[in-house]
Amino acid sequence: MLKKCITAIAILISLLFTTPTFAYTVKDGDTVETIAQDHYLTLKELTRLNPQIENMNALYIGQYINTIKPEHKIGGPLKIRKSTNTAKPEYISEADLKVRQAIRKSKPKIHTKSTPKTMEVTAYEKDLLARLVRAEAQNEPFNGKVAVACVVLNRVESKKFPNSIRSVIYARNQFQPVLNGQINKPADKDSREAVNEALSSKRDLVGSSLFFYNPKIAQSRWLDTRPTTLAIGRHVFKK
């Protein structure tokens, strides 16, 4: 009986080492959350197992990621000890895991808005953005203030504009408060709170808007022809 067990385990080990057993291949529809759930890991554990991946929220199809904790990997010589227990050992096979994944993927997918990316913003940039919000939307409703901040953040993430808050705000002839000096006045409480909301829970308030203006007082009319995303207060937001 012991010899049979040793033979079976040896065969299992040989099969394990013929493929990247401890690496999971990312497939279409996978997210870091579903991969962690399928492999009984927390997001922190999955991230800790993959220090080579800089951004776990930007996985691509065909990428290999580690899904087995180090203490679960096979390392060193296999030790077998005699036991009086006659119960058959239970194995969780790769096939079982694939069945569970197939069941999950066969269920209808519920499409929700993706979690907004976290943008690294310095204290200086937050203050500068809040000063612009105060100058551009001082008399607008709170959501109008948030929307102005979101437009600036959208520009930072767009390839059509500079990649920092300061560079976007100080780009040539982009914002009137920079031209008339209003940008230098301190931000108020509402503007600072609006920036915080734009960086967190209301990041998608204006969708993909890259522009805003007040059509009643605007001297240039070129924005009239661009697609409108929404209007808040006296401002109209455009793609």
C-alpha distances in Å from residue 139, one per residue of 105, 132, 212: 49, 13, 15
Domain limits, the chain: 2-106, 123-238
pTM of the model: 0.52
Q: What is the pLDDT of residues 12-44, one digit of tens each?
A: 554 444 444 457 888 887 888 888 888 888 888
Asked if residue 164 has pLDDT above 50, the reply is yes
Asked if residue 91 has pLDDT above 70, the reply is no
3-state SS, residue 235:
strand
Q: Domain 2-106, what fold?
A: Membrane-bound Lytic Murein Transglycosylase D; Chain A (3.10.350)
CATH class of 123-238: mainly alpha
Asked if residue 142 has pLDDT above 60, the reply is yes
Please tell me which residue, 35 or 178, carries the higher pLDDT value: 178
Q: Give backbone dihedrals phi and psi of 176, rounded to 5 degrees, phi first.
A: -60, -40
Average pLDDT over residues 211-233: 90
pLDDT at 54: 82
Asked if residue 90 has pLDDT above 70, the reply is no
Asked if residue 83 has pLDDT above 90, the reply is no
d(CA 239, CA 230): 10
Average pLDDT, the chain: 79
* Other residues' Cβ atoms within 10 Å of the Cβ of residue 215: 13
The angle subtended at Cα 175 by Cα 235 and Cα 236, nearest 5°, is 15
Domain 2-106 matches domain 123-238 at the CATH topology level: no
pLDDT at 137: 94
